[in-house]
Structure formats: C-alpha cells, structure tokens
Structure 1
C-alpha cells in the first residue's frame, strides 16, 4: 500500500460523509451550529461542504464518530441526514446515500399467548424494538405482514423512532406531500 493510500484511509477513519435529504440548499453555518449542539462530541468536528447538500464531517477522535454513527437517525431542519463511512478519500464521490438505520417498534396487536425468551431469561414484551437498515429510495413500509404457523398471516404496524419529514402521499423521505409529484396528479410514468 502506498503512502498516499494509507494517508487517505487514515483521514477517512475519522470521517463521515452525509447527505441532507432536503429539496433546497443547506446553509453550512446553520448545519455546523445545529449538529455541534445536537451531537455534543468530546472534541471539535470540522464540517466541509462537498456540494449538492453533501457534507464531510471530520471528527477529532474515532469514538465521537462511532457514537454519532450509532446514535441516529439524525436530521437537520426536519430533513434526514444519511451518513456513510467512506473507505478512503477517493471513495467519497461514490457514496450512494440510499440506506440509513432507524429504530422501529413492532407494536402490540393482540393478546399475548406465548413469549419467547433468550437463554439468559430476557424476553420480548408487548413491543419489539429493532434497529434496521432502511432503503430510503423506496416508500417507508407501514405494515409488516408476518406468516403464522397455521399458514395465515397477521399485520403488524411499524412505528419509526425519530422519523424526519417524509411524504405522506408517496411514502418517500426527502420531500413533503406539498412537493410530491404524485400529489400534484402527475403519473409516475411521466417522471424524468
């Protein structure tokens, strides 16, 4: 591995790249002020605009980066921030920003007949809480259909924690229904 490649990987080790899923441009100073207040990192975070609402977040220590990456989802001005970890400096331009993790609740839907327990005796109660990676290029799933042992299925509502603004019309993150092409009556086939 060359010196240049090793240096790029070292820099990337303390960086996150994020895209703010907003229809309009994001003010760098406003973002910097908000995120420093929300994240409350132990050391300073440098934020650099890469254009098109994409930003590089340079953390002074890797522990701060890991805490931020695991603590989301984060949003700015109610718009989702999709964070990714670049493998190297050259990798930044190749980020897709298609997935982010959400904590979701699968809610109680009937009387409990049996509860599975883990080996240590812990059990799942009326609500199951999971952290999952969600493809934000597709509409948010609102119901989970689960097959039962008797070859039927049950519907389980999904509740997302810390959900940013999204479109109630098409279910996509990144715009609200007032900005939605489907809401305005244009069929999907006519979209560019």
Structure 2
C-alpha cells in the first residue's frame, strides 16, 4: 500500500471508529458509584495559603467528632474530598455551622450527577445569622423565614423554647454565596405604609474571608 493510500484511509477513519462503541454502565455498577457519592463531601479552603493536608485532617477530625472512620483526599491545591463511613456523620457535618480552619472558611458541598469535582463552584456556606431590631409584630416563624430568604436559602430556624421567637432577635440558618458582599442589614416596610424599618444582621463564627 502506498503512502498516499494510507493517508487517505486514515483521513476517513473517525476517532469514534478507532476507539469503539460508547459503553453504558449497568444499574449494578451505577448503584456502587451512587453509594460512594452519597457518602462524600467536597470542600475548599477559601484562602491563598497552601494548607497542610495532615494538619487539616487532624483538626477536622477533632472538630467534626465523627463516630466512624473518615478519609480525606487532596484534589488540587486547597480542594479536598471527604469520604464518610456513616451517613449520619456526613449529614451532621453538612448541616452544621460554618467550618473554620486557621481562620479560613472551609466550604462544603455535596457532589451530584457524575461527581465532577473540578466543575463544582464551591462558593456557598451556611451561617447562623441573628436578625436584631425586630419589632414584636415580626416575631413569627413565617416572617422569620421570609426575612432569612432575603439573605439566602433558609435551611433552619431557631424558634426558641416556646416554639416561636421569644428572645431579642430572630435566628436563622442560611446558605449564602460567600463570593458576594455580605448583607449588613435588612430594610423592611413592616406596615406597608412607606416607612422603612432597619433590621441589623449579626453572623456567627464569621472568618476573615468574609470581611
């Protein structure tokens, strides 16, 4: 076969033909992968300093107090994968307060779909926020949820011992985008009369990154 003929044949061959047909994973294999995904969290340290992997592992093991074994893998730079043995450990860590390491925020997210870690944005964190200067008329669960929804996605509300707000402030657990400026207050027209009422926000466990 001449060189010209070889070139012609290669030009007509697609990469797909060369590599073969697209294969599909069967349900049993998919179930194995989904199970592993359901026990994983992906985290990113929001800081410029390169984090020591072993120090981070020791610190978060003490902070999270997991009941069963947890392993950690480095993805790239300050992005990590955390694998849990107990689903309840994973749930408690994910729904808990903000994770802080060396005064840097550790953002945690659940991998979804195929679990493409490098395509995850990793920019949302959960904070307990106290809403101060709230009038008595606004001290209800529904209004508290509405106020929290202005800040971000409301995950939980601390209703107090009475089952409704009975303290000096409303306390909500909210997931917010930490790439954006934090709200310092809420401006609400309570009586729909054009009078603006300012409610102050206080974030619990706020790391340096968020300033």
Seen in structure 2, the aligned counterparts of structure 1 residues 16 and 113 have a Cα distance that, compared at 3 Å, is closer
Distance 1:159 1:67 in 2: 23
Deviation at 1:123, TM superposition (A): 2.7
Deviation at 1:137, TM superposition (A): 0.9
Note if contact 1:8-1:88 (Cα within 8 Å) is conserved in structure 2: no
Structure 1 residue 123 and structure 2 residue 148: aligned?
A: no
Matched with 1:45 is: 70
Distance 1:63 1:139 in 2: 33
Query: Structure 1-normalised TM-score?
Result: 0.78
Task: After TM superposition, list the pairs within 5 Å mapping 1:17-36 onto structure 2.
Answer: 17-36=42-61
Deviation at 1:116, TM superposition (A): 4.8
Structure 1 residue 98 and structure 2 residue 141: aligned?
A: no
Task: After TM superposition, list the pairs within 5 Å mapping 1:166-181 onto structure 2.
Answer: 166=209, 173=210
Give the aligned length: 165
Seen in structure 2, the aligned counterparts of structure 1 residues 139 and 117 have a Cα distance that, compared at 3 Å, is closer
Structure 1 residue 62 and structure 2 residue 104: aligned?
A: no
Distance 1:99 1:62 in 2: 21
Note if contact 1:148-1:154 (Cα within 8 Å) is conserved in structure 2: yes
Structure 1 residue 144 and structure 2 residue 186: aligned?
A: yes
Structure 1 residue 87 and structure 2 residue 103: aligned?
A: no
Query: Structure 2-normalised TM-score?
Result: 0.71
Q: Which runs of 5+ in 2 are unaligned?
A: 1-24, 142-161
Which portions of structure 1, spanning 4 or more consecutive aligned residues, are displaced by more than 6 angstroms? none
Structure 1 residue matching 2:37: 3-state secondary structure: helix
**When you count helix as a share of all residues, which structure comes out higher?**
2
Distance 2:181 2:136 in 1: 33
Matched with 1:135 is: 177
Deviations 1:10-44 (A, max 9, x none): 11111100001011111100100100011111012
Structure 1 residue 16 and structure 2 residue 41: aligned?
A: yes
